[in-house]
Structure 1
Amino acid sequence: MSNPKEIKRRILSIESVIKTTEAMKMVSIVKLRKIKDQLTQAKVYLDYIETVFLDLVFTEYENILNNNQYFAEKGKIKLFIVFTSDRGLCGSFNSLIFEKINHFFQKKEYLHNECVFFAIGKKGFDFLCNKYNMYNKSWISNNLSNQKIQYLGSEFILDFLRKKISSIYLIYNHLKKSLFQEVIIEKFLPITDKNFKRKRSEILYILEPSQKKILNILIPKFLDAKLLKIFLESTMSEHTSRMISMHKATENAYNIKQDLMLNYNKERQTTITKEILEIISGLESLSKKK
């Protein structure tokens, strides 16, 4: 059995852990609510712009497919943008992505020389830089504003248009349910019919000045909205995972504290009983001497 003083020290240590995990849980809840509002707005905007884009593209899909540079894949270098976190303590959020990447490229080892990676989040960079080819040998924090993520997307789009890379894929966590995450590998560029999850509305638009000029303005806006939505989904998944992890950590800490309190009380009772027995035995020895 442990010393009561040692048990008391451990109880105080567990109490500080409980305060920390509860605080981190509350911070994640506040951030999660904010991200949910932003994601709802981003989805509404993306739905509208996707509807218009579909109607414009699929009126002359074959012609656009052959002439528009956003729909053409040229070259061999494929860029994979990986969305991870900067910090840990978020459960399996990062490990699920790393397992998916390892599993995907173990089956396609011949792609290693053709693929480069870019990490959004320090954890992703730490994992990728030792195993895979990094794009520009750099990474960026996932603590980005909406404007910064759109600027980053525009830089990747420019590299695609300049034919530095042939295609862009996004790897991120999608929160299907409150307790279930799914790792998605989604093609971002070039644009294909698989980029759209809804059917066109068959609306005939009057285009001015021309379909080509309108598409050159509309396509970057569509891609920016899509990238922003995926970034917000990944961030929401991170905060949800961290909230759940901190909730479980708090519960486990409470259980440990209860066990320690029981041990502490037992040790105290044992010590008190021992002291009482010593006093009684001392009194008995004194009475015998008299």
Structure 2
Amino acid sequence: MSNPKEIKRRILSIESVIKTTEAMKMISIVKLRKTKDLLMQVKIYLDYIESVLLDLLLTKKCKENSKKNQYFSEKGKGKMKLFIVFTSDRGLCGSFNSSIFEKINHFFQKKKYSYNECVFLSIGKKGSDFLCKKYNMYNKNWIDNNLSNQKIQFLGSKLIFDFLKGKFSSIYLMYNHLKKSLFQEIVIEKFLPITTKNFKKKISEIYYILEPSKKEILNFLIPKFLNAKLLKIFWESATAEHTSRMISMHKATENAYDIKHDLILNYNKERQTTITKEILEIISGLESINKKK
């Protein structure tokens, strides 16, 4: 059996763990509210710009010319594909990062693409630490998660520029999608080139009078749409991260309370055993004195 002093010391250490996990849980809740508000704002903006772009793209005359547009055709002679992986900078967020890493390994086990055809860019330190060991990196210096909307738009503009120059044939986004409040799934979404297969709207019969020209309007709208899409996925990944960390800290707090409860029971048992032992020693001492008399 353990010493009561040792058990008491463990109880005090568990209490400090509970304070830490509860504080981290509250921080995650505050950050989650902020990221949800930002995500909602970006979604509203993206929905509007997407509806304008789709109305323009799915007209008969514009749809015929969209395939010739530089944003709709694959580029790059080497067929190099860029994968942008959204991870966290810190741990203690459950399976948020490990599920992405398993997806990447499973993706190459199927041999859909070879290692030489793919390059990775990590947004988050955990992803950079994992990818540097085994895969080719587009940028060895990892991009942290403390990004503003302006920095994300700058990153999106750089990716679009590299694609148009033919550095990459296609660009994919890999991130955690928060399907429900407690359920996440890994999504691999094509960022460039744009495909019209996923568009659900019917072809519009309306003929729009466009000024200055269809090409110039598309070249103005499409980068806005792509930057908004990248921004939305970034905040969606951040929302999933804070949700995972909040759930992990909540479970850690519950487990710590269970351990504390068990330790208190053991401490009371040990204390009771010690008191009983001392009483028996006193009684046996008194009996021996009485016998001598």
TM over 0.5: yes
Distance of aligned partners of 1:200 and 1:230 in 2 relative to their CA distance in 1, 3 Å threshold? farther
Counterpart among 81, 85, 90 of residue 78 in structure 1: 81
- TM-superposed CA distance for 1:178, in Å, is 1.3
Distance 2:85 2:97 in 1: 10
In structure 2, list runs of 5 or more residues that go unmatched. none
- Corresponding residue for 2:17? 17
Q: How high is the TM-score relative to the length of structure 2? A: 0.94
Distance 1:10 1:56 in 2: 67
Are 1:211 and 2:214 counterparts?
yes
Distance 1:280 1:228 in 2: 77
Distance 1:257 1:104 in 2: 43
- TM-superposed CA distance for 1:109, in Å, is 6.1
Q: For residues 222-255 of structure 1, give each alpha carbon's deviation from its aligned partner in whole angstroms, at most 9, with x where no partner exists.
A: 0010000011111100010111011001000000
Are 1:3 and 2:31 counterparts?
no
- Corresponding residue for 1:179? 182
Are 1:271 and 2:279 counterparts?
no
Question: Could you say which structure has the higher helix fraction?
Answer: 1
- Structure 1 segment 85-164 matched on structure 2, within 5 A: 85-108=88-111, 110-164=113-167
Distance 2:55 2:114 in 1: 35
**2:75/2:166 contact within 8 Å kept:** yes
Distance of aligned partners of 1:182 and 1:238 in 2 relative to their CA distance in 1, 3 Å threshold? same
- Corresponding residue for 2:57? 57
**1:4/1:264 contact within 8 Å kept:** yes
- Corresponding residue for 1:280? 283
- Structure 1 segment 191-210 matched on structure 2, within 5 A: 191-194=194-197, 196=199, 198-199=200-201, 202=204, 204-210=207-213
How many residues were matched structurally?
288
- Structure 1 segment 187-266 matched on structure 2, within 5 A: 187-194=190-197, 196=199, 198-199=200-201, 202=204, 204-266=207-269
What's the C-alpha RMSD, in Å, of the aligned pairs?
1.5
Aligned partner letter, 1:18? I
Distance of aligned partners of 1:69 and 1:9 in 2 relative to their CA distance in 1, 3 Å threshold? same
Q: How high is the TM-score relative to the length of structure 1? A: 0.95
Identical-residue share of aligned pairs (%): 81
In structure 1, list runs of 5 or more residues that go unmatched. none
Aligned partner letter, 1:184? V
SS of the aligned residue for 1:185 comes to: strand
- Corresponding residue for 2:37? 37
